C-alpha cells in the first residue's frame, strides 16, 4: 500500500513515501526535506517483524520467565496496580518518538485522570535545556525561524552539533546553499573534528564544557569593537547591561586560555556576527546535555540579540533530537506541561485545561524529572513505573543506579520491540510500530506531518493511544476518553492550541504537511514576555569537577539511532559501527602505548566499559564514545556517566565525565579479523 509519513529517527522531520513494492523513498512534495533522505529509513521494511513483541507478557517475580496473557488480563493487572497505590507512587516515562495524539492521550490520562504530574519524557535527556533557554529569552518555545532560512543565509555556525551525521538532510541543505554562492562561511565549534567540522571553513577545537566562556567572550568583543546593534537592543530587548557585565569577565586573552582556543577565533566569530548578511546558529546536544546547558544556550542567543540577528538577519536554531519531540512539547508531556504550550504552574492554564477536559484538581507543582524519579524509586516512594517507547536501561545516565531502580520497581514496558529494559519488566505490552497506525509528528522547524497507516499491526500489538484509552475506560473514565480513532484525538488536541503560539486549530489531516506559526515566529519582533521584549540573560559559566585522565564525550553513531532497537537489526546500518569503539587522539594513545584497534577499558567511579580504539582528531585529553550500544554489544557507555543535571532544565550532563584508560587486549587479534 502506498503511503506518506515522517521519518521515525532524527528531528529534521523528513517526509517519506513507501511505494507498492515496499521501498522507502523521499517525498518530493514535503516542505521540510523536498525529497531528500538519509540512509537510516531505507531499511525500515526489513525490520518490521524482527524482534517484535507479539503478545502481552507478565511475571510477578522478575526472576521467573514471562507467560503470555490476554489484553484483558493485562488491563486487569494495570487497574489493580494503579488503584492500590497513591498517585504519587506512580510514574510514567514516555518518548519523543510517539505520535502527537499518543502523547496527548497519555498526558491526559496522567495529569487529568490520575491527578499526578509524575510524567516525563526522554526529551528530558536532549531538549529541555533548549526549551528552557527559548522560554527565558523569548517567552515561549519554538524555533524562531524555519528551514527556508537556510536557503538565503551566508554564515552557518554549528556548535555542539555534528549535523552531518546526526541531522544529515539539514546539513545537506546547508551544503547545497554553499554550492550556490561563494560568499558563504560554515564554522564548527567542537572538541572533535567531526564530519561536520571537516566540511566547514573554520573548525574551532574547544575544550569540552567551556562553550559559555567562548560565547561570552564573543559578546565582549562585539561590545569592545563597537559592533553591537544598539538600535535593535534598545527597541526590542531588555537585560543587555547585566549580560554584558558578566561577559566582561572573559576578554579573549582569558577566554582563550580557559577554552584552549586561539584568541583570533573569538574575534572571527564576533566579526561574522557583526558583519555577515544573515547568520544561523545551529546547536544540539553538545550544548544541551550539560550541567551548564541552559547558560550555553542563552550565551548563544545573547549574541543574536546583541547583533539583531533574527528573522531576515538570522536565527538561533535549536535542532530537535527526536522525530516528535516538538509534538511532545506542544502537548506538554514533560513534568510541568499542559497542551498548547501551557504550564501546570500557571493557574489560568490549569483552569483552562480543567474546564476543557471536564476534570478538577490538576496539580500546580511539576512532578519529579525522570532522574529524580530514579532516586525516589530507590527510596521506595515510587513503586510503579510505566515506560512507553523508550529504553532507559541503555539511555539514562548512571546506569548502575538506574538498573537497580528498574529491578526494584513494578515495571511496565510498552514497546514495539524487545529491548534491554524488557529484561527488568513485570508486564510487557506490545505496541504498534509507525506505519501500523496513523497520527501526526512535528519536526524541528514546526512542520507537522500526517503519518499514514500502510500495514496491519504485528501480532496483538495496539497503538499506544488505544492502550491507554482502553485502560482508562476500564477504570471508569469512558467519557474522558471517547476516542475511536487518532483523528478524534487530533480534533480534541488542536482545539487546545487555538489562540496559542502553536495554534493548529484550523488544520485537518488533509491539510498536512503544514507548519504552525509564520516563517518567522516573532515576525513583528513582539515576544510573549511580560514586557513584549526579548530578554538577554546572564550566562554564567559552571563546569563539573571530574577525576580522570580523560574527559569522556558522547554522541551519536552515523547510521544508527539511539539504542539501536530498530536500526541495530539492519546489517547494512551496523557495517563500520561494530565493534563498539572510542575515538582518541593518536598522540594521547602513543603516550599510553596504545595502538589503533587495541581494546581499552574505560574506568570511572561509576563503572567500567571496554571499547576498541580508533584514531581521530580529538582534542588532547578528551575521548569520544558513541552512546546507545545495547548490552548485546557490550556494556553501554552510559554506565560511566553521571546523573548530575542542569539546575534550570534538569537535563543530565551526558557529555562530560572523567575516565581513566587501561589497555586490556591487542586489537589486531581481538577485533580486526571481525570487521
Class of domain 550-674: mainly beta
C-beta of residue 131 within 8 angstroms of C-beta of residue 137 = no
If pLDDT is split at 50, 70 and 90, which confidence band does 666 have?
A: confident
pLDDT at 402: 98
Cis previous bond, 235, omega within 30: no
Q: Report residue 308 as a C-alpha cell.
A: 539583531
Tell me the average pLDDT across 471-499: 98
CATH architecture entry for 57-126+323-435+458-486: 3-Layer(aba) Sandwich (3.40)
Over residues 102-147, the pLDDT tens digits come to: 999 999 999 999 999 999 999 999 999 999 999 999 999 999 999 9
- By C-alpha distance, which of 200, 99, 155, 75 is closest to 468? 75
**Rounded alpha-carbon distances, angstroms, from residue 45 to 230, 433, 454:** 55, 11, 11
Alpha-helical segments (H) within 48-167: 71-83, 100-107, 128-138, 163-166
Over residues 639-651, the pLDDT tens digits come to: 999 999 999 999 9
What distance in Å separates the CA atoms of residue 673 and residue 675, rounded to the nearest whole number?
6
Classify 279 in phi/psi space as left (phi over 0), alpha (psi -120 to 50) or beta: beta
Residue 673 has pLDDT above 50, yes or no: no
Q: Exposed/middle/buried for 653, CB within 10 Å: 0-12, 13-18, 19+?
A: buried
Over residues 161-178, the pLDDT tens digits come to: 999 999 999 999 999 999
Q: Taking CA 301 as the corner, what is the angle to CA 300 and CA 305, rounded to the nearest 5 degrees?
A: 125
Does this model's pTM top 0.85? Answer: yes
Over residues 537-574, the pLDDT tens digits come to: 999 999 988 999 999 999 999 999 999 999 999 999 99
Over residues 175-217, the pLDDT tens digits come to: 999 998 888 999 999 999 999 999 999 999 999 999 999 999 9
Over residues 342-372, the pLDDT tens digits come to: 999 999 999 999 999 999 999 999 999 999 9
Grid cell 543535571 in the structure block, residue: 645
What distance in Å separates the CA atoms of residue 497 and residue 76, rounded to the nearest whole number?
35
What distance in Å separates the CA atoms of residue 370 and residue 125, rounded to the nearest whole number?
9
> In the CATH scheme, what is the homologous superfamily, with its name and number, of domain 128-318?
Dimethylsulfoxide Reductase, domain 2 (3.40.228.10)
Tell me the average pLDDT across 303-316: 98
Grid cell 556548535 in the structure block, residue: 159
If pLDDT is split at 50, 70 and 90, which confidence band does 604 have?
A: very high
If pLDDT is split at 50, 70 and 90, which confidence band does 665 have?
A: confident
Partners of residue 231 on adjacent β-strands: none
pLDDT at 670: 54
Residue 675 has pLDDT above 60, yes or no: no
The domain limits of the chain are: 3-47, 57-126+323-435+458-486, 128-318, 550-674
C-beta of residue 105 within 8 angstroms of C-beta of residue 468 = yes
**What CATH number was assigned to the domain covering residues 3-47?**
2.20.25
If pLDDT is split at 50, 70 and 90, which confidence band does 2 have?
A: confident
Partners of residue 25 on adjacent β-strands: 17
pLDDT at 1: 60
If pLDDT is split at 50, 70 and 90, which confidence band does 674 have?
A: very low
Query: Which residues touch 446 (CB under 8 Å, ≥6 apart)?
Result: 142, 143, 146, 326, 502, 515, 516, 517, 521
pLDDT at 182: 84
Query: Which residues touch 221 (CB under 8 Å, ≥6 apart)?
Result: 227, 252, 266, 267, 270
Amino acid at each position: 500500500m502506498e503511503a506518506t509519513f515522517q521519518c521515525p529517527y532524527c528531528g529534521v522531520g523528513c517526509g517519506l513515501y513507501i511505494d507498492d513494492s515496499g521501498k522507502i523513498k523521499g517525498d518530493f512534495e514535503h516542505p521540510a526535506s523536498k525529497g531528500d533522505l538519509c540512509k537510516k529509513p531505507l531499511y525500515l521494511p526489513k525490520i518490521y517483524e524482527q524482534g517484535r513483541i507479539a503478545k502481552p507478557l507478565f511475571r510477578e517475580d522478575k526472576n521467573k520467565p514471562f507467560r503470555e496473557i490476554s489484553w484483558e488480563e493485562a488491563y486487569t493487572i494495570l487497574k489493580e496496580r494503579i488503584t492500590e497505590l497513591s498517585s504519587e507512587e506512580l510514574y510514567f516515562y514516555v518518548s519523543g518518538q510517539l505520535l502527537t495524539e499518543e502523547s496527548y492521550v497519555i498526558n491526559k490520562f496522567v495529569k487529568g485522570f490520575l491527578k499526578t504530574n509524575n510524567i516525563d519524557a526522554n526529551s528530558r535527556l536532549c531538549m529541555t535545556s533548549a526549551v528552557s533557554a527559548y522560554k527565558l529569552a523569548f517567552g515561549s518555545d519554538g524555533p524562531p525561524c524555519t528551514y527556508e532560512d537556510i536557503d538565503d543565509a551566508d554564515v552557518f555556525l554549528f556548535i555542539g552539533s555534528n549535523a552531518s551525521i546526526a541531522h544529515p538532510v539539514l546539513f545537506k541543505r546547508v551544503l547545497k546553499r554553499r554550492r550556490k554562492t561563494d560568499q558563504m562561511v560554515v564554522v564548527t565549534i567542537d572538541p572533535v573534528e567531526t564530519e561536520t567540522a571537516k566540511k566547514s571553513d573554520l573548525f574551532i577545537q574547544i575544550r569540552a564544557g567551556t562553550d559559555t566562556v567562548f560565547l561570552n567572550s564573543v559578546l565582549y568583543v562585539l561590545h569592545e569593537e563597537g559592533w553591537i546593534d544598539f538600535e535593535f537592543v534598545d527597541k526590542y530587548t531588555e537585560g543587555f547591561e547585566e549580560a554584558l557585565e558578566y561577559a566582561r569577565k572573559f576578554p579573549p586573552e582569558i577566554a582563550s586560555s580557559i577554552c584552549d582556543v586561539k584568541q583570533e577565533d573569538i574575534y572571527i566569530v564576533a566579526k561574522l556576527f557583526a558583519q555577515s548578511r544573515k547568520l544561523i546558529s545551529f546547536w544540539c546536544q553538545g550544548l544541551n546535555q550539560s550541567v551548564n546547558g541552559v547558560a550555553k544556550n542563552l550565551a548563544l542567543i545573547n549574541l543574536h540579540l546583541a547583533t539583531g540577528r533574527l528573522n531576515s538577519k538570522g536565527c538561533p536554531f535549536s535542532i530537535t533530537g527526536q522525530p516528535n519531540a516538538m509534538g511532545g512539547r506542544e502537548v506538554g508531556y514533560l513534568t510541568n506541561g499542559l497542551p498548547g504550550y501551557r504550564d501546570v504552574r500557571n493557574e489560568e492554564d490549569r483552569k483552562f485545561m480543567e474546564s476543557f477536559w471536564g476534570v478538577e484538581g490538576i496539580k500546580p507543582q511539576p512532578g519529579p524529572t525522570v532522574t529524580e524519579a530514579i532516586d525516589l524509586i530507590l527510596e521506595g516512594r515510587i513503586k510503579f513505573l510505566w515506560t512507553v517507547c523508550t529504553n532507559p536501561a541503555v539511555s539514562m545516565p548512571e546506569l548502575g543506579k538506574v538498573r537497580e531502580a528498574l529491578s526494584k520497581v513494578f515495571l511496565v514496558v510498552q514497546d514495539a520491540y524487545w529491548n534491554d529494559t524488557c529484561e527488568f519488566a513485570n508486564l510487557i505490552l506490545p505496541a504498534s510500530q509507525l506505519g501500523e497506525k496513523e497520527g501526526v509528528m512535528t519536526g524541528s522547524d514546526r512542520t507537522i506531518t500526517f503519518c499514514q497507516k500502510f500495514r496491519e499491526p504485528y501480532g496483538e500489538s495496539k497503538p499506544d493511544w488505544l492502550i491507554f484509552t482502553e485502560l482508562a475506560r476500564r477504570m471508569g473514565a469512558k467519557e474522558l476518553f471517547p476516542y475511536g480513532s487518532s483523528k478524534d484525538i487530533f480534533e480534541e488536541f488542536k482545539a487546545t492550541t487555538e489562540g496559542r503560539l502553536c495554534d493548529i486549530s484550523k488544520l485537518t489531516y488533509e491539510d498536512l504537511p503544514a507548519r504552525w506559526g509564520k516563517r518567522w515566529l516573532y515576525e513583528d519582533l513582539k515576544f510573549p514576555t511580560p514586557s513584549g521584549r526579548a530578554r538577554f540573560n546572564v550566562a554564567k559559566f559552571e563546569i563539573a569537577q571530574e577525576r580522570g585522565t580523560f574527559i569522556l564525550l558522547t554522541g551519536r553513531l552515523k547510521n544508527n539511532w539511539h539504542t539501536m532497537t530498530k536500526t541495530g537489526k539492519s546489517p547494512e546500518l551496523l557495517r563500520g559501527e561494530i565493534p563498539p569503539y572510542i575515538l582518541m587522539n593518536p598522540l594521547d594513545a602513543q603516550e599510553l602505548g596504545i595502538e589503533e584497534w587495541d581494546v581499552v577499558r574505560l574506568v570511572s567511579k561509576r563503572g567500567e566499559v571496554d571499547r576498541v580504539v580508533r584514531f581521530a582528531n580529538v582534542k588532547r585529553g578528551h575521548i569520544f564514545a558513541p552512546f546507545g550500544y545495547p548490552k548485546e554489544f557490550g556494556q553501554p557507555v552510559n554506565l560511566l556517566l553521571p546523573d548530575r543535571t542542569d539546575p534550570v532544565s534538569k537535563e543530565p550532563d551526558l557529555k562530560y565525565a572523567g575516565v581513566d584508560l587501561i589497555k586490556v587486549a591487542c586489537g589486531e587479534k581481538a577485533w580486526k579479523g571481525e570487521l
